[in-house]
Amino acid sequence: DTAPSGMAPAYLATIHALRRAARWAPAALFSSGIVAGDKPVLVRDFVRSALYDPNHGYFSKRSGPVGVLDSAIRFHKLEGRTAYMKHLDKLYKMHDISWFTPVELFKPWYAYAIAASILRTANLSVPLKIYEIGGGSGTCAKCVLDYMMLNAPPKVYNNMKYISVEISSSLAEKQLETVGEVQSHLSKFTVEHRDATDIAGWGCKDPQPCWVLMLEVLDNLPHDLVYSPDQVSPWMEVWIEKVNGSSQVCEVYKPLQDPLVSRCSEIVGMNEENPSLREKLSFAAKGLVSKVFPKPRRAWLPTGCLKLLDTLHQTLPSMSLIASDFSYLPDVSIPGDRAPLVSSKKDGKTLDHPNYLDAQVCHFHFIHIAVTLQADNLFLLLE
């Protein structure tokens, strides 16, 4: 708990408060990604536990989940893509980290570009308010604040508010440390340790214009899974249940009943109504084939993403949203449409898992963000 010299007292008080809060976190529902009680849970709760459980979740670890570069890469010293890839390889060998995010690799330029676009388009007659969801190590927050300090009219920087909403208490602490490197940023910056998808945490609706940044967050949000035993039977929800008396878990299938799963499958267009004659004929043909050669179907649904966007739309109706994420995932071996990449790291090696139920302390990556957005302004950067 020793603080480096020169840190502001307000910052230290918040760090201590966060440490206390971390100890009061509710008991884990599952142990090591395994369902603890006898009741089945939806796949999204299983994924949430593997990623965010305060005790064993991937993002609750103090080091590892989000890599931080000690210093910015000097791009002008690198001659082209091959030199960049070599440099990247060296960096990964030096750090015990699964990956670096773009805001980290391209610091400070990536966050500067976001800040420049905000400055260019924001209505500066009202105080600037930026929310960042899932700020990781705080690099984006620090660089956006740096940019505003150096480039915005002093009134804009002095009156601005930067609110970080972070589910992991260890990363929330890290963000305060990173932003606290510049003393004057601390009066503009607050970090709220909570789940951004939970509408209760947002309080009343805020009708004022504001910005919401989410970098590499949508692809980490819990998903649900639906299953059908053949080509024509209706989709069923997948739940996870403990196998009698053992630490193993298995899937159980139930008719669609969860409102979020049902809404998400409608939005994704999985239960299209009013099929055309051609579709009806093809369905009848499939029915025959499915009796002889039943082929089970699986589809992953971005229910966590839908919940977060719903929440933001209701609580921050005048937001401008900037989100960035993957546009494809390599070598996915988990079956199903929109399936995730599930990986863990052991002894410096990244291991991809062919079965998501293997998840001990695993990292899930999803890419397909198939929900409708109703934000007034949306910038989606796909890498």
Ligand X SMILES: C[S@@+](CC[C@H](N)C(=O)[O-])C[C@H]1O[C@@H](n2cnc3c(N)ncnc32)[C@H](O)[C@@H]1O
How many of the other CB atoms lie within 10 Å of CB of 252? 13
**Binding flag, residue 167, ligand X (CB under 6 A):** yes
Closer Cβ to ligand X, 247 or 314, answer by number:
314
| Region at 63 (left for phi over 0; alpha for psi -120 to 50; beta for the rest) | beta
* Residue 134: CB minimum distance to ligand X, A: 2
Residues in 57-96 at the binding interface with ligand X, rule: CB under 6 A: 59, 66
Considering the rule CB under 6 A, would residue 334 count as an interface residue with ligand X? Answer: no
Longest dimension (CA), the chain: 74
* Of 24-32, 160-168, 233-241, 289-297: span binding ligand X (CB under 6 A): 160-168
DSSP letter at 256 equals S
CA dist., res. 345 & res. 367, Å (int): 20
Residues in 93-122 that interact with ligand X by CB under 6 A: 101, 103-104
Smallest distance, ligand X to C-beta of residue 277, A: 44
Amino acid at 241: E
Which of residues 134 and 336 has its CB atom nearest to ligand X in the complex?
A: 134
Helix ranges (DSSP H) in 152-276: 154-159, 169-179, 259-268
Contact in structure between 251 and 237 (CB atoms under 8 Å): no
Angstrom CA distances, 163 to 93, 142, 154, 366, stand at: 34, 12, 19, 26
Residue number with CB closer to ligand X (14 or 170): 170
Between CA 286 and CA 278 the distance in angstroms is: 12
Q: Indicate whether 180 belongs to the interface with ligand X (CB under 6 A).
A: no
Q: Does 135 bind ligand X (CB under 6 A)?
A: yes
Taking the complex as a whole, the smallest distance from the CB of residue 110 to ligand X amounts, in Å, to 9
Q: Which is nearer to ligand X, 133 or 316 (CB)?
A: 133
Shortest Å distance, C-beta 373 to ligand X: 17
Q: How many CB atoms lie within 10 A of CB 379?
A: 14
Spatial separation of the C-alpha atoms in residues 126 and 315, rounded to whole Å: 19
| Site membership for ligand X, residue 168 (CB under 6 A) | yes
CB nearer ligand X, residue 185 or residue 297: 185
What residues between 210 and 249 interact with ligand X by CB under 6 A?
215-217, 220-221
The site for ligand X (CB under 6 A) is made up of 59, 66, 101, 103-104, 133-136, 165-168, 171, 195-197, 215-217, 220-221
